[in-house]
Chains A and B, each alone.
Chain A
Amino acid sequence: MANEVILLDFWPSMFGMRTRIALREKGVEFEYREEDLRNKSPLLLQMNPIHKKIPVLIHNGKPVNESVIQVQYIDEVWSHKNPILPSDPYQRAQARFWADFIDKKLYEAQRKVWATKGEEQEAGKKDFIEILKTLESELGDKPYFGGDDFGYVDIALIGFYTWFPAYEKFANFSTESEVPKLIAWVRKCLQRESVAKSLPDPEKVTEFVSELRKKFVPE
């Protein structure tokens, strides 16, 4: 059976990056289609009518939405290589817990860092660093969040790294000084082909965020 995989995405999206990495980890051939979020394609609106958001994974014409759900789907369909979730139920639960933590806590905090200023931004920055420290503590001395193997939580988190220079620029801090072990983990992940191919240049992301920030924080 022919496997047709299309990914509707937006290049700086840390969520889209997750799905790109998962597909590449599994060696799945896919067609990447860039979406203009100010002018969403009819296909996007048809395949994700509820949220109208990217990423959208279309496998043999059927859509799967939400990045964490896509990553699990990819893991289950292409189960023959590079498992993403651990096989042990307890380890799987821990992986799901931490990905949920990233989605619930990190995303909101990072938004305040680049989209606000003054007191709100300071509070956001404090929260953001706190959350990174929690994640660093969870990583501990392990090579990856899941242990010896690159997996679900690593995939959930790594895309945010491309936004770090932007956060550092606008909120004036250094992630390397705050969470050096986490940055070491970033460098290890970047050595993986699936990650290196899926992440945009952080400099380009910073340019993009600068433009975006103007809409939220008029100078």
Chain B
Amino acid sequence: MNQEEQVKLMGLWGSPFSKRVEMVLKLKGIPYEYIEEDVYGNKSPMLLKYNPIHKKVPVLIHNGRSIAESLVIVEYIEDTWKTSHKILPQDPYERAMARFWAKYVDDKVMLAVRKACWGPESEREKEVKEAYEGLKCLEKELGDKLFFGGDTIGFVDIAADFIGYWIGIFQEASGVTIMTAEEFPTLQRWSEDFVGNNFIKEVLPP
């Protein structure tokens, strides 16, 4: 089956969600057309057509059909382009664990870090504690592995792209410190390896 048919990605240059999809497309060597969306300004008719429910990016358009929600898109790419760089493990239990940790990053850690950095002052201490604890869980889960996915970048690494790159920027911009190299040596090491990967480097914002 010819999978060279049109792949388009509607994204936002600074968004970790958008970048997740780009990273996977690069890792798998899938050519695509990138369309920058002015999400905060003027949402294009194309975005409203292809993601009427959430009106957000990223949106992947493949053969004229759209898929939304970054991790749903990543699984779609994995299901469709089976031959190159596997993102998810083969074993059902390992897959369940990968999905669990990716969801944990999304639902708990990213949210807590955002709230800690940008939320109301009154909630700050509580959110920082939650973010810190969440990161500690991830630090423990990573353990001795090179990546969350083992020897190669996998589903959880992609989901945690925020930690690899954006958390430093957020901390600097907001003045709130949650993750330091001293407290999180394993995540720090992982960040450097993740961001240093050639495919990942290619898509990160300047």
B75 close to A93 (CB less than 8 A): yes
Q: Does A13 contact B (CB under 8 A)?
A: no
- Fill in one digit per residue for B53-78: 1 if any A CB lies within 8 Å of its CB, else 0: 10000000010010111001101100
- Fill in one digit per residue for A47-84: 1 if any B CB lies within 8 Å of its CB, else 0: 00010000000010010111001101100110000000
- With A66-B100, A69-B103, A97-B68 as contacts: A89 and B53 at CB distance below 8 Å: no
Chain A residues in 8 Å Cβ range of B80: 89
Q: How large is the interface on B (under 10, 10 to 19, 20 to 34, 35 or more residues)?
A: 20 to 34
Q: Does A134 contact B (CB under 8 A)?
A: yes
Chain A residues in 8 Å Cβ range of B69: 96-97, 100
Q: Does B93 contact A (CB under 8 A)?
A: yes
Chain A residues in 8 Å Cβ range of B68: 97
Chain B 24-59 interface residues, beta-carbon cutoff 8 Å to A: 53
B99 close to A90 (CB less than 8 A): no
Chain A residues in 8 Å Cβ range of B100: 64-66, 69
Q: How large is the interface on A (under 10, 10 to 19, 20 to 34, 35 or more residues)?
A: 20 to 34
B76 close to A76 (CB less than 8 A): no
- With A92-B75, A93-B67 as contacts: A66 and B95 at CB distance below 8 Å: no
Q: Does B192 contact A (CB under 8 A)?
A: no
B76 close to A90 (CB less than 8 A): yes
Chain B residue at minimal CB-CB distance from A60: B93
Chain B residue at minimal CB-CB distance from A48: B100
A100 close to B95 (CB less than 8 A): no
In the assembled complex, the CB of B33 is this many whole angstroms from the nearest CB of chain A, namely 19
A90 close to B75 (CB less than 8 A): no
Chain A residue at minimal CB-CB distance from B80: A89
Chain A residues in 8 Å Cβ range of B96: 64, 69-70, 72-73
A89 close to B76 (CB less than 8 A): yes
Partner of B103, one of A66, A73, A76: A66
A93 close to B95 (CB less than 8 A): no
B104 close to A50 (CB less than 8 A): yes
A contact set with B: CB distance below 8 Å: 50, 59, 62, 64-66, 69-70, 72-73, 76-77, 89-90, 92-94, 96-97, 100-101, 134
Closest 3 CB pairs of A and B: A89-B79, A76-B92, A93-B76
